[in-house]
């Protein structure tokens, strides 16, 4: 007697973003969350957390997206950044070879630091700067020196990155935050790849029968029902 009008179960998923400066991490998020793009986006300062829902046929995933903000520049991210992350987007700029090296470094770091079951997607961004962006799906070879002249700034072949992703068991996409190409697909693929078992239900109608776990009971909400400004009250 399934109630077809009942809301789909919803779960939150913590997703972290990693990658060299200026590869387009924040732009991918901006495209995904606001369907927007800014030509000269500033290095990320000030905003480093966003949420966005992703509707799957059988459930809703609410992404809690943690953008990096400064601490990654010298590989100084705090453990709290990785903790409980169920998904990671490791981004490189496919016009910039060093950015793939950096991406590989982050993948290794995630495998060392993050939860064992984390879903990692490797994303080559700025596809619009390559000649195959319009959909003429011709995979370019390595090291075309005249790439930019011919309107193709690609420096990292699809093949190279894809092979690496397969070896490491990563999801792999080439995207353009500018045109929006493949951006939603990345997040949907991640949502689908997260094992059902690792999804903790968000509080809500779908979760109300799950029972309150012991840890949930112990948890304290500092902005709870009590008015924290009522300074002189006392329990005694």
Ligand X SMILES: Nc1nc2c(ncn2[C@@H]2O[C@H](COP(=O)(O)OP(=O)(O)OP(=O)(O)O)[C@@H](O)[C@H]2O)c(=O)[nH]1
Ligand Y SMILES: Cc1cc2nc3c(=O)[nH]c(=O)nc-3n(C[C@H](O)[C@H](O)[C@H](O)COP(=O)(O)OP(=O)(O)OC[C@H]3O[C@@H](n4cnc5c(N)ncnc54)[C@H](O)[C@@H]3O)c2cc1C
Residue tagged 């493949």 (tokens): 182
Q: Exposed, middle or buried by CB within 10 Å (0-12, 13-18, 19+), for 1?
A: exposed
Residue 209 in the binding site for other proteins (CB under 8 A): no
Interaction of residue 11 with Mg ion, rule CB under 5 A:
no
What track of x and - describes contact with ligand X for positions 4 through 23 (by CB under 6 A)? ---------------x-xxx
Site for ligand X in 153-212 (CB under 6 A): 176-178
Residues forming a β-bridge with 93: 125
Do 86 and 194 touch, CB atoms closer than 8 A?
A: yes
The yes or no reply on residue 218 touching ligand Y (CB under 6 A) is yes
Output the six-digit token pair for 194: 């997260």
Least distance from ligand Y to the Cβ atom of residue 9, Å: 23
From the list 228, 227, 202, 226, the residue with the least C-alpha distance to 216 is 202
Q: Which is nearer to ligand X, 44 or 158 (CB)?
A: 44
Q: Is residue 60 within the footprint of Mg ion (CB under 5 A)?
A: no
Rg (CA), the chain: 21
d(CA 101, CA 153): 18
- To ligand Y, the closest distance from the beta carbon of 157 in angstroms equals 43
Positive/negative CA dihedral, 143, 146, 150, 152: positive
Decide: 191 and 61 in contact? Cβ < 8 Å.
Answer: yes
Q: Which of 5, 215, 221, 223 binds ligand Y (CB under 6 A)?
A: 215
Q: Which one of ligand X, other proteins, Mg ion, none interacts with residue 176, CB within 5 to 8 A by kind?
A: ligand X
Identify what 202 binds: ligand X, other proteins, Mg ion, none; CB under 5 to 8 Å per kind: other proteins
Show the binding pattern over residues 29-48: x = contacts ligand X (CB under 6 A), - = does not: ---------xxxx-xx----
Binders of ligand Y in range 56-85 (CB under 6 A)? none
Closest CA to 2 of 210, 206, 211: 206
Site for ligand X in 86-125 (CB under 6 A): 125
Beginning with the edge strand found earlier in the chain, give each strand of the sheet holding 119-125 in spatial order.
49-55, 60-66, 10-19, 87-93, 119-125, 171-174
**44 binding Mg ion? (CB under 5 A):** yes
Could you say whether residue 75 binds other proteins (CB under 8 A)?
yes
Contact residues: ligand X, CB under 6 A: 19, 21-27, 38-41, 43-44, 125-126, 128-129, 176-178
Contact residues: other proteins, CB under 8 A: 7, 10, 12, 21, 43, 45-51, 62, 69-71, 73-76, 78-81, 83, 113, 202-205, 215, 218-224, 226, 228, 233-236
């Amino acid at each position: 007697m399934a109630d077809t009008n009942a809301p789909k179960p919803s779960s939150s998923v913590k997703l972290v973003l990693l990658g060299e400066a200026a590869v387009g991490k924040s732009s991918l998020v901006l495209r995904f969350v606001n369907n927007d793009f800014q030509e000269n986006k500033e290095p990320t300062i000030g905003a480093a957390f966003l949420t966005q829902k992703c509707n799957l046929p059988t459930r809703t995933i609410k992404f809690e997206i943690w953008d990096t903000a400064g601490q990654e520049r010298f590989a100084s991210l705090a453990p709290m950044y990785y903790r409980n992350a169920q998904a990671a987007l490791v981004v490189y700029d496919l016009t910039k070879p060093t950015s793939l090296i950096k991406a590989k470094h982050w993948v290794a770091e995630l495998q060392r630091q993050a939860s064992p079951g984390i879903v990692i997607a490797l994303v080559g961004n700025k596809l619009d700067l390559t000649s195959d962006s319009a959909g003429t799906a011709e995979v370019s070879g390595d090291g075309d020196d005249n790439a930019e002249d011919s309107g193709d700034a690609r420096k990292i072949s699809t093949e190279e990155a894809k092979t690496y992703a397969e070896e490491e068991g990563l999801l792999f996409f080439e995207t353009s935050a500018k045109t929006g190409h493949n951006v939603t697909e990345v997040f949907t693929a991640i949502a689908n790849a997260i094992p059902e078992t690792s999804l903790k239900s968000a509080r809500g109608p779908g979760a109300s029968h799950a029972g309150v776990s012991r840890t949930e009971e112990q948890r304290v909400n500092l902005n709870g029902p009590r008015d924290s400004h009522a300074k002189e009250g006392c329990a005694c």
